[in-house]
Structure 1
């Protein structure tokens, strides 16, 4: 016989009553405080403003820099007070010349009447003009290193073998000697020239000098007898360059 008054089973729960709502518990999400995002927003705003001002500053810097470069390269830039030319501009204004002897085409009359050597028209010149193929005209005043090399292929029975560099103030100025050199074809004499030792029938008169020249000055090379000069290109030359 089963006793119903003693059992370990709990009684069933009572059913909910109709018409009465039961609360539903849903855990609410906790939102972070609003003040936690404020420093991040301020930092981003600062970065944006800094980038903006740097862009504007860089634009104005490049604009004024380009404007200054254009003014410095203008033709009137060297007229401004305190203007100093750059190394490249100084190098581009250097004056120099290397003249090559013109092939012999003189008549006997020309050889007797003039002792000035003539130079090739296509010889290298920069900021120096050529006048009548014999004179070099200075365009920039200053100190010039001037050199001359004249080779003689034969001697003269009465006159010494000499070359002279002549200077005149202008085209109509009086000529004067500023450089002079001699050489001898005597094979018995002691000479420091290697060309004279190798060939006693030729000698070279070489001269070099530092001259202070003015604008408009003219230089040329003169010999007593053009018929005794060696007209090979590298044997007889004349040139100068500004220091």
Structure 2
């Protein structure tokens, strides 16, 4: 049965819908998003470290570097032309030995270009170290290069033996550059050099 009863009273407006309360929900970051953020942070740190390191080496290059240019004199240790050498906090002994005036880590480098070959002996250069003027020297670094002697000889042959290393030196330690036969070396300034600078 259907109820058809009507009241004469005015009908009430429909009830208002319930108010929504605003709840701030923190968005969930996926593990892939965290990985990307971490990777970006690490790349930023690596880039910053690279820039600081490169800037430090450039600064040291212009403030604490010693580089010498050679001059010819017999066999064995290369003699350096000190008038054309850049020296800062480094002394020299008999134009052959560079002397560290402060203890610390030094970048030591050499470049020897040979313009002639020796038919018997290898083309070698060595950085020698001694702990004072009268101390026995030891080989700290050694490098070789090879010239092709089988050619016709119409074109000049050149080869370069290069070395570089970080070495811990005490005050008064001395370094020198040695070759078996100095008459085989190209002594131009751009071809042969020797130096060290403090880190």
- If the length of structure 2 is used for normalisation, what is the TM-score? 0.64
The reply on whether 1:100 has 2:69 as its aligned counterpart is yes
Displacement of 1:121 after TM fit?
Answer: 1.3
Displacement of 1:233 after TM fit?
Answer: 1.1
1-structure distance, mates of 2:64, 2:134? 23
Per-residue CA deviations over 1:153-206 (Å, capped at 9, x if unaligned) read 010011000000000000000100000000001278xxxxxxxxxx66110000
Displacement of 1:234 after TM fit?
Answer: 1.0
Q: Which residue is equivalent to 2:92?
A: 130
Judging by fraction of residues, say which structure has more strand.
Answer: 2
> Which residues of 2 match residues 178-197 of structure 1 at below 5 A?
178-186=140-148
1-structure distance, mates of 2:142, 2:162? 9
How many residues are aligned here?
134
Judging by fraction of residues, say which structure has more helix.
Answer: 1
Matched residue SS, 1:120: strand
Unaligned runs of 5+ in 1: 1-90, 189-198
Q: Which residue is equivalent to 1:81?
A: none
Matched residue SS, 1:97: strand
Q: Which residue is equivalent to 1:115?
A: 76
Per-residue CA deviations over 1:3-39 (Å, capped at 9, x if unaligned) read xxxxxxxxxxxxxxxxxxxxxxxxxxxxxxxxxxxxx
Matched residue SS, 2:183: helix
- If the length of structure 1 is used for normalisation, what is the TM-score? 0.52
Q: Which residue is equivalent to 1:173?
A: 135
Q: Which runs of 4+ in 1 moved over 6 A?
A: none
1-structure distance, mates of 2:175, 2:188? 21
Q: Which has the higher contact order (CA 8 A, sep 6+)?
A: 2
Per-residue CA deviations over 1:196-217 (Å, capped at 9, x if unaligned) read xxx6611000000010000000
Q: Which residue is equivalent to 1:70?
A: none
Report the RMSD for the aligned CA atoms in angstroms.
Answer: 1.8
